[in-house]
Structure 1
Amino acid sequence: MVVVFVLVAVAVLAVFAGLHYYAWRRLVRDTTAGPGWPRRLGTVVFVAGPVLMFAAVAAEQAGAPFLVQQVLAWPGFLWMAFALYLLLALLVGEVVRPLLRRVLDREAPPPAGTENTTATDTPAETPPAAAESTASTPAPTPAPAPTRRLLLARSVGAVATVAAVGVVGNGAYGVLRGPKVKRVTVPLARLPRAAHGFRIAVVSDIHLGPVLGRGFAERVVETINSTQPDLIAVVGDLVDGSVEDLAPAVAPLARLRARHGTFFVTGNHEYFSGADPWVAHVRELGLRPLENARVEMGAFDLAGVNDISGENYDEGPDYAKALGDRDRSRAAVLLAHQPVMIDEAVRHGVDLQLSGHTHGGQLWPGNFIADAANPTLAGLERYGDTQLYVSRGAGAWGPPVRVGAPSDITVVELASRQA
């Protein structure tokens, strides 16, 4: 098993190094006329970027001092996103390059010495005095113009770089600005008329950590409170780090306000970060953890189960404990971090499961991978008599960038068919 892991790791590193070499060749070697400070500077960037990226990941995984994680996270994770879109832009450039080469070849002037000349074009003889002056004062040599090949490489490289910077910059701005509110109405067959219009603010995947801190948490809290929900559901992946490091960052969650309170279930990242301390800490902040538990909200049942990652810590989901003895004539809403938990929700007669985890793919074209790994990537879908709603999440993991998957806080309004 160890040998297989090492071989896979070596293969991944080889592919990673090869892709960076390709990008360096196109953007640095092909765009510089020869050795000099521009090529040296470009080489430093293409070495420092991957080193910072691996250092950021390693620091987070190894639990390095939090200040070290913060210093490395921004440049390292931004390089991760930038390298992805730079590579995609350069690959598009490979398609465009032959077309640009044809245009340049068509517009290029004919080589010197090929013009038609006649006897009348012969210049007059230069007077001896002028000839001596010309011979004694040589004309200055003009700087060589860039070759067509160099001009083409610089043009494609510049466009690819600007495109990558633009995509990553816009995606980072979208994350740091904070999630927008999305509203969805979900009819439930067993919901009584008294609960018609009950509003649940669903927030997932905030991912407070080395990159997103207290300021981001404050924006999330303000956005949720502005919707004036009846109930708030935090469906996992709240943090990336320990309580000791992130207690100041999560402190604004104590200001969450809803008529029926705020409920919390664990995500996979809580188990990476220490689930038990975090469950205890969010309880101190006023959130109510649902650890394989259920509460009656009057008109319907609200249940929550631990994330399936908890199985590695003997704290996995227990649907029988959360849902086994309930009155099946009542509507049930289940909080479960991962969409793949929908099968158990269907078996236990849940009306609506609220989930996150997918980030909607976060970085295009990662949405295709996330879609293949989850029954629902984002939004509302039906599975038998059970409906599943998946939020794209409020924050971001790894690069603080979203492309093609805007962050959201969703207000789910329950509708009674008896109304």
Structure 2
Amino acid sequence: MVILFVLLTLAVLVTTNWYLYRRLFRDTTRAPGPVRRAGAVLIAGGWLLTVTAIVAERAGAPFWLQRVLAWPGFLWMALSIYLLLAVVAGEAVRPLLRRFLERRAGAETAVRRAEPVPAGGAPIPPGPEHDSEPEPTPEPEPAPEAAATPAALPSRRLFVSRVVGGAAAAVALGTVGYGTYGVLNGPTVKRVTVPLAKLPRAAHGYRIAVVSDIHLGPVLGRGFAQKVVDTINGTQPDLIAIVGDLVDGSVKDLGPAAAPLAQLRARHGSFFVTGNHEYFSGAEQWVDEVRRLGLRPLENARTELAHFDLAGVNDVAGESEGQGPDFVKALGDRDPARACVLLAHQPVQIHDAVEHGVDLQLSGHTHGGQLWPGNFIASAANPTLAGLESYGDTQLYVSRGAGAWGPPTRVGAESDITVIELASKL
């Protein structure tokens, strides 16, 4: 199955990239030459950088090499997606543009034929002085096939290909540029009120700053972490919850990038649970590191705050290392009369949360799809893509995340930090 998947992926990549090369370079040039060669190198080299960047990150290559490869490799991944979408959309424009040009050429030909031409070959200027002159003998009309010579058709086709290809490239570059600027500029703050039936009146208005999927790594580093910390602190929360996928790399490489987390400030502290990417990056070492920075990891554990219980479970990816989620350990002996807020990275963990009587689960993982139309794939794989939904008596809030995995780019899924304001019904 693995071999079949790899072969299928390669077939899709080869086919789509040949299509891009054909539409953007072969169809927009008259003959083989440097432009076509440059296009082939650009497309093949871009994907070679992308694959190499992913492999380097997963294999733990020297961090300097990861950083060199990550920017061009991951940005090409995003750019190629939107080049493909724009070129496919351009297929609908091609026949319309061709028809327009044909009609325009036909109208111009008809106008030229209607103009009176004297024997000398110059059109007779309009005016009263020519009214009495005899009309010149009209020249014979050209044969119908001469109206559009074989040499004219390739020129029209070439013009259409250049217009559509140029527009597709401009749209793709603009989309990726704007989406990248949005990520690098830092996440926005969302505010959501969540009523909890068991929350005492004294806790009404309690604020939890939820941040997920920061993805510190070869692209997003210390400067980005500082923006996230400053944004969280600016909301003046009562409690901070980091719900997984903090990093993409080892403590050795990314410890300095994560250092600003020590500046997080909240009245009742900062808490952390693992995401699937922590288990690609040395989860145990990162748990120790965030503890050193002043955060409190909740590894299948619970703490009783003044007005509600706060629990956290490991990500399901930890099962491969014997460190998977344990809801019984985290929630089994709690007082069911107290409200309970659960930190769990993946939305799919909501079903276990419902069984254990959790009032509110806070998650991330989906990125809101990150790159449209990836939201359709993410929606199919997760019970909730983003936002607040109810599952019986349990509510689930899914953050779109603060950072980005792979391309530092978001399209149709703006990054965010959410301030959850708890509301009492009592």
Normalised TM-score (structure 1): 0.91
CA deviation profile, 1:328-360 (whole Å, cap 9, x unmatched): 100000000000000111111111000000000
- 2:345 pairs with 1:347: no
Letter in 1 for 2:57: E
Choose the corresponding residue for 1:58, options 28, 51, 55. 55
Task: Kindly report which structure 2 residues correspond to 1:146-295, keeping only aligned pairs within 5 A, or say none.
Answer: 147-295=155-303
Choose the corresponding residue for 1:301, options 302, 305, 309. 309
Report how far residue 5 of structure 1 moved: 1.4
Task: Kindly report which structure 2 residues correspond to 1:393-404, keeping only aligned pairs within 5 A, or say none.
Answer: 393-404=401-412
SS in structure 2 opposite 1:257? Answer: coil
Choose the corresponding residue for 2:43, options 43, 46, 51. 46
Task: Kindly report which structure 2 residues correspond to 1:102-181, keeping only aligned pairs within 5 A, or say none.
Answer: 102-108=99-105, 115=113, 120-122=118-120, 147-181=155-189
Report how far residue 293 of structure 1 moved: 0.5
Q: 1:294 to 1:148 in 2, by over 3 A?
A: same
Equivalenced residue count is 395
Contact persistence 2:25–2:39 (CA under 8 A): yes
How far, CA to CA, are the matches of 2:416 and 2:114 in structure 1? 69
SS in structure 2 opposite 1:147? Answer: helix
SS in structure 2 opposite 1:47? Answer: helix
Letter in 2 for 1:108: A
SS in structure 1 opposite 2:384? Answer: coil
Q: 1:111 to 1:241 in 2, by over 3 A?
A: same
| Greater shift in the superposed pair: 7-16 or 164-173 | 7-16
Report how far residue 38 of structure 1 moved: 2.2
Choose the corresponding residue for 1:365, options 365, 370, 373. 373
How far, CA to CA, are the matches of 2:404 and 2:115 in structure 1? 69
Letter in 2 for 1:45: L
User: What's the counterpart of residue 133 of structure 2?
Assistant: none
Choose the corresponding residue for 1:8, options 2, 5, 9. 5
Report how far residue 40 of structure 1 moved: 2.3
Choose the corresponding residue for 1:33, options 30, 34, 40. 30
Report how far residue 26 of structure 1 moved: 0.4
CA deviation profile, 1:305-327 (whole Å, cap 9, x unmatched): 00111111100111111110011
Q: 1:105 to 1:274 in 2, by over 3 A?
A: same
SS in structure 2 opposite 1:333? Answer: strand
- 2:334 pairs with 1:326: yes
CA deviation profile, 1:53-79 (whole Å, cap 9, x unmatched): 111111111111111110000100101
SS in structure 1 opposite 2:37? Answer: helix
Report how far residue 36 of structure 1 moved: 2.5
Residue identity (%):
69
CA deviation profile, 1:281-319 (whole Å, cap 9, x unmatched): 100000000001100111100000001111111001111
SS in structure 1 opposite 2:402? Answer: coil
How far, CA to CA, are the matches of 1:381 and 1:268 in structure 2? 23
How far, CA to CA, are the matches of 1:14 and 1:382 in structure 2? 41
Report how far residue 48 of structure 1 moved: 1.2
How far, CA to CA, are the matches of 1:64 and 1:171 in structure 2? 28
Normalised TM-score (structure 2): 0.90
Report how far residue 39 of structure 1 moved: 2.2
Letter in 2 for 1:5: V
Letter in 1 for 2:422: L
Letter in 1 for 2:179: G
CA deviation profile, 1:208-249 (whole Å, cap 9, x unmatched): 001100000000000000000000000000000000000010
Contact persistence 2:225–2:258 (CA under 8 A): yes
Report how far residue 262 of structure 1 moved: 0.2
How far, CA to CA, are the matches of 1:287 and 1:321 in structure 2? 21
Q: 1:341 to 1:122 in 2, by over 3 A?
A: same
